[in-house]
Each structure stands twice: as C-alpha cells, then as structure tokens.
Amino acid sequence: MAVTYCCAYGRIQVSEEISKLPPHIQERLLRLQQLQQTLQAVLAQKQQVELELTEIEQALAELQKTADDTVIYQAIGSLLVKAEKTKVTTDLDERKELLNMRTTVLGKQEERLRGQLKDLQTKLQKDLSPVSPP
C-alpha cells in the first residue's frame, strides 16, 4: 500500500515502508525529492541558455566575416526580414549579454541547490543511521 502526500510540487506517493518513518524524516525525504526536481529544472534551463548562447556566438562570428554591405536577413518568428548588419549585431550582442547574466544566475541557483541537497542528505543519513552503542 502506498501513501499519497500533497505538496507544493503536486502529489507524491510514498511507499508503506517510508510511511513508517517518523514525520520529520518523511518531510526531509519529500524536501529532498523537491530539491532534486528543482535542480533538474534549473539544469535544463541552464542547458537551454547555454545552447542559445552558442548559437548567438556562432552568428556573431559569421557576421564579423561578412562585409558591411552584405544583405542580411533576420528571423522574426517564422519570417525572414531584411535587416542592417549593425542592427543585427547590436541585437545579438544585447541578447548575448542577457543570456550571460541568466547563465550566472542559474549557476548560482544550481550551486545553492546542490548545497541544500548535500546538507539535507547529510541530515537524512544521520537520521537514518543506526544508533551505535556507547
């Protein structure tokens, strides 16, 4: 039989064995699972941002190789629109700066979450380790 708990991240099913643990340990286990899910989401966001950053850097490198009078088209949704090289370069530089800041923020979130996970795992290991005789 499984017990279902409701939390901010949705319903979480806990096996009967876990439901026999003291409530504070159950709460820590749920918190651990929540932190792991949050970390996975942050890592996925960070990967997406890094991918976009790579694409922008490649586009900027290609723009540097082109002459100033080269006809350039910029994607706007599903359309390609003729654009000036300087405008496209400026837009890409601004987007790159924004993505670099976002990468920094996500990196700090990742670091903080990893620290919280480590602390919580340490507490859980202490809670779950058998008491050694004196």
Predicted pLDDT at 131:
57
End-to-end Cα spacing for the chain: 37
- Distance from C-alpha of 46 to C-alpha of 73, rounded to nearest angstrom: 28
Specify the pLDDT at position 23.
85
pLDDT at 117: 96
The fold of 23-124 is: Helix Hairpins (1.10.287)
**Residuewise pLDDT in 10s, the chain (134 residues):** 444 444 444 444 545 667 778 888 889 999 999 999 999 999 999 999 999 999 999 999 999 999 988 999 999 999 999 999 999 999 999 999 999 999 999 999 999 999 999 999 999 888 888 755 55
Q: What angle do CA 79, 81, 87 make, to 5 degrees?
A: 130
Looking at residue 16, what is its pLDDT? 64
pLDDT value of position 134: 53
pTM over 0.85: no
Q: Where are the domains of the chain?
A: 23-124
